[in-house]
Every structure is written in C-alpha cells, then in structure tokens.
Amino acid sequence: MAKDTAAVHAGRMSAQHFGVVNTPVYRASTVLYPDLATLEAGNVPYKYGRLGTPTSQSFEEAVTELEGGARAFVCPSGLGAISFALLATLGAGDHLLMTDSCYGPVRPLCDRVLRRFGIETTYYDPLIGGDIARLMRPNTRAVFCESPGSLTFEVQDIPAIAAAAHAGGAAVLMDNTWATPLFFNAFEHGVDISIQAATKYVGGHADVMIGYVCVNQANVKRFADAQHDLGLYASGDDCFLALRGLRTMPVRLARHRETALTLARWLSQRPEVSRVLHPALEGDPGHAIWKRDFRGSSGLFGVALKPCSHSAFAAFMNGVKLFGLGYSWGGYESLIVPAHITRSVRKFDADGPVVRIHAGLEDPNDLIADLEQAFAAMGAAQ
Ligand SMILES: *Cc1c(COP(=O)(O)O)cnc(C)c1O
C-alpha cells in the first residue's frame, strides 16, 4: 500500500464507534471492570487511562503502519520521545554516540541527565559515515542520528553508520522529523528506533505538542516495559489532533516541499545570501546522499546571509510580514528564526547570520514578495 493511502486508512476503528470515521477523544483515568474475575485476569484492551485508550491506540497503530515498524509509543512531546528512546535503550556504564547536528535541547539531555545516570556521550561529525566504526567502544550501546541535521541540514549516510553500529552491537536511533516517514523510510535504511516530533508535520497546525517512537520487533518488549515504567502518556485530545493532522500530511508535505524549493532557489540568487542549506538543491554538499536515500524534501531549510550589521539583520527579520518569528515548524504557516548553532566537533562555517525558514502553505509568490520587501528594508538599514 502506498504511504498516501496508509495515511488515510491506517489506525481507523469506525466499526467500534458507530461508523464514525475518526476515533473519538477518550478522556479517561478510571476504566471500570465488569467483575473481579475480569480485573484479576487483566485481559481487557484498556485497563487504565495512562496505559492507553482507543484514541492513543488509533494514533500508535496509524504511525506504526506509516513507518513500517513493529510498534509505536506515543510521547508527550518530540523531546519527550527522544528522552524516552534514550532511557529505554541505555543504562549505567553505557556509551552513546550522538550526532553533532542534533536538535539543540538534546545536548543538555545527554550532558546533564544521562551523565547523572552514568551514561557517557561522545558527539560525532554528522558526515562521518562508516568511519564511525573508529568511535565505537565495547560499551557503545546506541548511535543517534538526525538527517538532515537541525539548523545546518547535513545529510548523514545512515546505511553506512547503521552497518558500523550494528557490527559493534549498538542500536541505531534516528530523529526523522524533517523527512517524516513519507520521505525517509528509516527502517529500510538500517534504523532500529525511529523518532518523530509529531508536533511538527504530523500535527501540522501549530496547536499540539506530541511525539512518538516507532521500533522494530527486537525492541518492542524493552520499549513497552519502559513506557509502562516511566508513566509516559499523551492526552486523548492531543492524540486526536495528531491523528487528524496525519490524514492530510501527504498533501500538505507536497505543497511544503514545492514552496520550499521555490523559495530556496530564489534565495540562492539573491545578493544578500551567501549560501542556502537545502539538500534537495543540486549544488548542496548532501545532495547525492539525499537523492539516493530520500523520497522527497520538506519545507524546512537554512539560509546563510552575507555579513551585515545587526541593525540591517534586524530590519530584515522585522521586515517580513507573512513569515512569523517563532520556534517550532511544520504548521501551515511560514516561519523564520535566527539559527543559534551549537557544535562541539565540526564548527559551522558562516561569517554572516544564519536563519531557518519554514515554507508554509501560502502562495509562494506572496512569500517571495514578502522576502523581497524585507531585503529592501535591510538594504535601507545597511
Ligand atoms: C522540534 C523538534 C524536536 C522536539 O519536538 P517538541 O515536540 O518540540 O519537543 C525534536 N527534533 C527535531 C528535529 C525538532 O525539530
């Protein structure tokens, strides 16, 4: 079944809900048992709100099918999904290899929380490929990837990294939020544990915080136990919104992709721009691997501006009218934010400010006109 079809049909349970197309919002803590024997046997589909409802089950089943994994676990946010995956995988004395291009807040998670539990993190060059074998230690239990990287958009050679990780007995975890399972099939490329900040494209409307982890068969028991033990939960309302967003994700992503490419090509011709960071552009250093492994590109990319005064930069950022200034992305609206790049292994080369753009669902010509007038304001402030 094509992914677009799966996005429409997966995880539906209309027959159990009077034919209603969408699984309704179940708000529950207590679930009542008909008698003592049933309670003691415990073989009912829903036991207690925290342990799952039809709404969370619909969402988990839908994303499992889209990912092509064995089972998915809903989490309270994307970062919550990352911390859940790392805590489920690692223990005291273990070593973690973390890409230097990871989503920023993952660093304090490694450097504060995991360190406190006796887990050591080594950051690695996102472009290391199969040479990651040289960083593997006997206690390396996990290799964490994100491709393209947050803010800098380096494309990782996931199959080469996965082969080296597996040879050393480590699990491969990947933050696949940029591509979603529609544009990068994590499990086909050697990933064991696929993580999604569903806050972004799955939700798609800038109004829900949610995440999930989808695992292969070998990790189902470990992750089911960890979810149970950690008490992770997402509300029925949030599962409902995420599932509602998922149904239209393929059509939204197609538009995000086209508009981002239009903006990226236009920006790369601008005199104010030194480099556009978008792996689907022919000249991008990650283009060859992106083309080999990905089925599409999404709406998020970076722009390195030529050196300019801070007041000129401010005139540009304050000059845009259709692009909102704010964090997160993946909603229907266009966004722009300054990129604060933290790297410990490979310094990112930029002598001017770097911004991150999310191309929304507006008409691309209006977005270009908006950027054009913001560049004019920038020129006037130079
Ligand atoms: C936003 C983001 C996250 C975190 O998701 P939240 O739902 O905001 O916690 C994780 N990874 C990537 C790549 C992100 O962009």
Count of CB atoms situated within 10 Å of the CB of 368:
15
Tell me: domain 249-381, CATH 3.90.1150.10, correct? yes
For residue 64 and ligand 1, the question of a CB distance below 6 A is answered with no
Tell which one of 82, 154, 173, 177 to mutate to probe ligand 1, the residue whose CB is within 8 A of the most ligand atoms: 177
Q: Which residue has the tokens 């721009």?
A: 273
Q: Count the Cβ atoms, other than its own, within 10 Å of residue 307.
A: 11
pLDDT over 90 (residue 24): yes
- Give the Cα separation of 361 and 3 in Å (integer): 21
Third-level CATH fold of 3-245: Aspartate Aminotransferase; domain 2 (3.40.640)
Tens digit of pLDDT for each residue in 259-271? 999 999 999 999 9
Q: Is 169 left (phi over 0), alpha (psi -120 to 50) or beta?
A: left
Peptide bond into 148 cis (omega under 30): yes
Residue nearest to atom 4 of ligand 1 (CA): 78
Closest by CA to 328, choosing from 204, 152, 220, 221, is 204
Element (H, E) at 245: helix 236-268
Task: Report yes or no on whether pTM surpasses 0.95.
Answer: yes
**pLDDT tens-digit map of 210-230:** 999 999 999 999 999 999 999
List Cβ neighbours of 202 (8 Å cut-off, separation of 6 or more): 63, 180, 196, 210, 242, 245, 246, 249, 330
Q: Tell me, using a 6 A CB cutoff, whether residue 199 lines ligand 1.
A: yes
Helix (H, G, I), strand (E, B) or coil at 24: coil
For residue 349, pLDDT over 90 is answered with no
User: Where in the chain do CATH 3.90.1150.10 domains reside?
Assistant: 249-381
Furthest CA-CA distance within the chain: 78
Comma-separated ranges of CATH 3.40.640.10 domains in the chain: 3-245
**Given the residues 12, 71, 94, 103, the one annotated as active site:** 103
